[in-house]
Amino acid sequence: MANLSVRGVDDEAMARIKASALRRGLSVNAYLVDLIRRDAGLGSGQTRRTAHTDLDHLAGTWSDEDAAAFAATQGDFETIDEYLWRWSASASIPTRTAPSSVATPL
């Protein structure tokens, strides 16, 4: 299964996509996959979100301190590795040059 990264979606289009997904009870990803499948003539995929209740007992159990501690650990996920972003569309295996000028695989 392929993964796509879509850039250049303006704010108005994104707001409409989110609203359409919400009306259908789908995530934005599920909604866009469904749009792609229909446009490709493959029919609709998932049309309803499956309701899962197995984690309901955890809802609302974090204190403000718990939430702040968790948020403080998430900063690395907001960092973009420019090197990886540049080669991500390439079919070749990336290498980085070590300080000794020896190419080493990631």
90 belongs to a structural domain: no
Question: pLDDT grade, residue 96 (50/70/90)?
Answer: low
Model confidence, pTM: 0.43
Q: Which domain holds residue 34?
A: 25-49
DSSP strand pairing (103-105 vs 95-97) = antiparallel
77 belongs to a structural domain: no
39 belongs to a structural domain: yes
pLDDT at res. 53: 73
34 belongs to a structural domain: yes
38 belongs to a structural domain: yes
Backbone angles phi, psi at 90, to 5 degrees: -80, 150
45 belongs to a structural domain: yes
Q: What is the sign, positive or negative, of the torsion defined by CA atoms of 34, 38, 44, 47?
A: positive
Please answer whether residues 30 and 49 qualify as being in contact, where contact means their C-beta atoms are separated by less than 8 angstroms: yes
19-52 pLDDT, tens digit per residue, is 999 998 889 999 999 999 888 888 876 555 567 7
Q: Measuring CA to CA, which residue among 68, 98, 17, 102 is closest to residue 9?
A: 17
Residue 27 CB contacts under 8 Å (≥ 6 apart), including other chains: 21, 49
